[in-house]
Chains A and B, each alone.
Chain A
Amino acid sequence: MAEPIIQIRDLTKTFGQGADAVHALEHISLNIQKGEIFGIIGLSGAGKSTLVRCMNLLERPTAGSVVVDGQELTQLTDRQLRKARQSIGMIFQGFNLLMQRTALDNICFPLELTGVPKAQARKKARELLEVVGLGDRENAYPAQMSGGQKQRIAIARALATDPKVLLCDEATSALDPTTTLSILELLKDLNQKLGVTVVIITHEMKVVERICHRVAILSGGVVAEQGEVAEIFANPQSEIGRQLVYPGGVKLEALRESRVIRIAFNGGSSYEPLIASLAIDCGVKVNILGADTRNIDGKAFGTMLLGLPQDPAEAAKAVNYIQSQPNVTMEEVPDHG
């Protein structure tokens, strides 16, 4: 595999000192590959915003290394760091546009910082306005735009210096679901067209499943698990992973079945025929305790919690049948009460 564009090694961030110290991040190691869309998900307080802010050193790590595009950021001088930041774009939950500048001048801003001549900056900014679909809004001020439009301007601004990486810190969290989807589509599009590596911080699994290739789940300042999005959806290994995949939080205590199994569909098959054929072929009826299906990369993925019959023989029959199915994996849920 090629050299990762972002390489984080043993990163630790502690706020405060002594007894009051807060360990926001502990020994984080991550590789983000060139050209991928990488998600970092976690509940609030998990440290994900701190982590993304360490990727351009808005937050300076207490220990560990952050290598972006071959440069060890923690070793750079102030001047070198400012230069390095020009190839790391960032967008924010609150858009953070300059309120006293027009859309066009906002996009020109990072180019002004690097001394690009005004005419050239404006030309580039106009092109970017077209790319984000706001070609007709160049003279509008942020106050005249909707949230989605503001985020599009922020994206155009972040891309003005042709960065290799785009960091998105809860970029869709302030937007309604429809606008969120359109912004995610735009990011996906830009990732494909420009090849820019996208890092997405979010607390919403929907965002991850929609556009991310790989994901790291952060909990309590450590990486609980990481891997391909499809794999984690099909078979979350960590407690926090399960919580995020089943946001409803199936309460196992309440279940009366003797055995509970979780089955995962890894694309291809649909779960309704499986349950139906289980009843027809084996004569075993199971209870669906919870189900969640998603469409990832054009394939159907789903997980389901099944309550098996009290009779051990019937239960074994069902288990054997499910295990014989292609594209389905199964695990027993232990100690469900």
Chain B
Amino acid sequence: MAEFWNEYGGLILEGLRDTTIMVVASTIFAYIIGLPLGVLLIVTRPGGIWERPWCNRIVGWIINIGRSIPFIILMILLLDFTKFLVGTKIGVRGAIPPLVISAAPFIARMVESSLSEVDGGVVEAAQSMGASIWQIVRKVYLPEARPSLILGASISIVTIIAYTTIAGTVGAGGLGDLAVRYGYVRSVPPVLLTTVLLIIVMVQVVQSLFSWLSRKLDKRLR
């Protein structure tokens, strides 16, 4: 055990750190893009508070295109763009742009779904009080959908964790990279097992934490 740790401990910790950085950074950037897109889908939809059918359709198409390209192909397609954006095609930094572009459309749909659960009557009440579109988004849609948005975030993060491990196989580093290089190529089963365990633990922690937070912040459950 000690021997295994001496030999691979550093690598595993490094992998864990890289994966965490990629997941956290990609999640943040993906939300910066995906959250406004999700909001846009809700407000511009037919019957929405800022009905713009064409805008809604175009944004919908872009999101669908983004979602239909498999992550691994998207990474290859984006190589030059990634290089231009972050100065490298590989490593942790090189993995973040494709992760963000892949996750943002997914997040936009998650956000759209959460916001569509908000009771239309409450939105209407806000309109009857003279609320502007921006006020309705900020003070009605987002706070009222908060528990659902948090649950959606847990699903998004778990998806990003999965993408991150795929990115690892093509030179992004992190636990996925470790699993391929040591677990598969050099055939060291304990390394493979450890990475799998760590990924399972990460997913569990994220899911439990966000579920707990969602319940705790939901004032409907009393």
The size class of the interface chain A forms with chain B is: 20 to 34
**Is B119 in contact with chain A by the CB < 8 A criterion?**
yes
Taking a contact as CB atoms under 8 Å apart, the answer to whether B220 and A82 are in contact is no
**Chain B residues, CB < 8 A from A81:** 130
What mask results when residues 78 to 93 of chain A are scored 1 for a CB within 8 Å of chain B, else 0? 0001111110111010
**Is B57 in contact with chain A by the CB < 8 A criterion?**
no
Taking a contact as CB atoms under 8 Å apart, the answer to whether A96 and B129 are in contact is no
**Is A233 in contact with chain B by the CB < 8 A criterion?**
no
**Given contacts A101-B143, A109-B139, A113-B135, is CB(A96)–CB(B130) below 8 Å?**
no
Taking a contact as CB atoms under 8 Å apart, the answer to whether B140 and A85 are in contact is no
**Is A98 in contact with chain B by the CB < 8 A criterion?**
yes
Chain B interface, DSSP helix/strand/loop, else mixed = helix
A175 to chain B, nearest CB (A): 16
**Given contacts A141-B219, A143-B219, is CB(A58)–CB(B130) below 8 Å?**
no
Taking a contact as CB atoms under 8 Å apart, the answer to whether A96 and B121 are in contact is yes
Contact with A98, one of B130, B132, B144, B222 (Cβ below 8 angstroms): B144
What mask results when residues 133 to 173 of chain A are scored 1 for a CB within 8 Å of chain B, else 0? 00000000111100000000010011001000001000000
Complex: chain A residue closest to B123, CB-CB:
A96
CA distance A109 to B125 in the complex (A): 11
Taking a contact as CB atoms under 8 Å apart, the answer to whether A86 and B146 are in contact is no
Taking a contact as CB atoms under 8 Å apart, the answer to whether B143 and A56 are in contact is no
Complex: chain A residue closest to B146, CB-CB:
A100
**Chain A residues, CB < 8 A from B68:** none
Tell me how many residue pairs across A and B have CB atoms closer than 8 Å.
81
Complex: chain A residue closest to B121, CB-CB:
A96
CA distance A86 to B129 in the complex (A): 5
**Is B80 in contact with chain A by the CB < 8 A criterion?**
no
CA distance A161 to B221 in the complex (A): 30
Taking a contact as CB atoms under 8 Å apart, the answer to whether B144 and A96 are in contact is no
**Is B72 in contact with chain A by the CB < 8 A criterion?**
no
A160 to chain B, nearest CB (A): 9
**Given contacts A99-B144, A112-B139, is CB(A83)–CB(B130) below 8 Å?**
yes
Taking a contact as CB atoms under 8 Å apart, the answer to whether B127 and A141 are in contact is no
**Is A64 in contact with chain B by the CB < 8 A criterion?**
no
Contact with B131, one of A82, A89, A101, A154 (Cβ below 8 angstroms): A82
Taking a contact as CB atoms under 8 Å apart, the answer to whether A58 and B128 are in contact is yes
Interface residues of A (CB under 8 A from B): 56, 58, 81-86, 88-90, 92, 94, 96-102, 109-110, 112-114, 141-144, 154, 157-158, 161, 167
Interface residues of B (CB under 8 A from A): 119, 121-122, 124-132, 135, 139-140, 143-144, 146, 217-222
